[in-house]
Amino acid sequence: MATLLSLSLRFENSMTIFSFIFCKLPFTIRLSDVVVTIPLTFMVSFMIAVSECLRGTPCRYDGMAKPDKGARELVKAGAVCICPEVLGGLDTPRSPAEIQGGDGFDVLCGKAKVVNKAGEDVTAQYVKGAEIVLELCKKYGVTEAVLKEKSPSCGSSLIYDGSFTGTLRPGVGVTAALRLRNGITVRDEQSCAETGNKAK
């Protein structure tokens, strides 16, 4: 009969950071007249990812960071940090980019593209970064992500409309779209930070 040794759940503003379940299962092997009992321990864990700029790393297009108190607490607890644009091969600083012709899902389908303010098509770098991030999420068992809102990579509900006029539209970034396609929950930074604690 399996014995539950401990169950520890840790939450930050309704978000699971880690969930550990330890079970001790007496496993009996009979060899001739010798009975050997082997205790087996199992651990199941769930992890979240955080946009690198929210941790305070200056990796945004303008060479700055967007440190967020709630996100930094998640990092202290062990969250995985990622910047898909840097992973995709883009420099810091870099020309700002926006999605034209749709959102992240449309980019993944080839119906839209990511273009920087200089007019260069950087779709390939954004898709590459999203794919690398997805592999890291699979490697570390990430099930949820806190991402920088409005980003062409990480926007989880709002992105700029591609006109470079500061106009927002509903939609998700390329990395957020690929995560959603693969069953990973995405949220913006306000989901883990108290009002007034966010860096401006």
Sign of CA dihedral 91, 95, 99, 101: negative
Q: Where are the domains of the chain?
A: 3-42, 48-191
Distances (CA, A) of 27 to 24, 31, 34, 38: 9, 13, 14, 5
Which of 35, 40, 75 has the alpha carbon at shortest distance from 54? 75
Q: For residue 85, how far is the Cα from the chain centroid? A: 13
Least confident of 10-24, 40-54, 143-157: 10-24
Per cent of the chain over pLDDT 70 is: 72
Query: What predicted TM-score, i.e. pTM, was given to this entire model?
Result: 0.76
- For the segment 165-183, the average pLDDT, to the nearest whole number, is 98
pLDDT of residue 149 exceeding 90, the answer is yes
Q: In which band, very low, low, confident or very high, does the pLDDT at 120 lie, cut at 50, 70 and 90? A: very high
The set of residues, in sequence order, having a beta carbon less than 8 Å from that of 160 and lying 6+ positions away, is: 98, 99, 150, 152, 166, 167, 168, 169
Report the chain's terminal Cα–Cα distance, integer Å. Answer: 55
